[in-house]
Amino acid sequence: MIAFNIFKWIGELFTEVLFSPFEWLRLTIATADKGWWISNAVNWGFLVVLLVLLAYWMKESRKFVKEGTEDIA
């Protein structure tokens, strides 16, 4: 019964707390003229973070290739 309560709590956490900003966006932006851009602002933010992290990863990878320590076991 404890495991069931833990999974129930996790489900409520996601539906009631973590997804509430998206619910607010869905209810308030649905009638706006530029609703698509505003609704997808979160996705654009994730894309920017992903590109920054990818650039950092590639810079670090290039550094290890230049040092010759890339595939040392």
Number of folded domains in the chain?
A: 2
The answer to whether residues 64 and 45 belong to one domain is yes
The answer to whether residues 26 and 48 belong to one domain is no
Instruction: Return the DSSP state at 32.
Output: S
The answer to whether 38 touches 25, Cβ cutoff 8 Å, is: yes
The answer to whether residues 23 and 48 belong to one domain is no
Structural domain of 3 = 1-33
The answer to whether residues 45 and 23 belong to one domain is no
- Residue 61 makes CB contacts below 8 A (sequence gap 6+) with 70
Q: What tens digit of pLDDT does each residue of 10-67 get?
A: 999 998 899 888 887 777 766 666 667 776 887 889 999 999 999 999 999 999 888 8
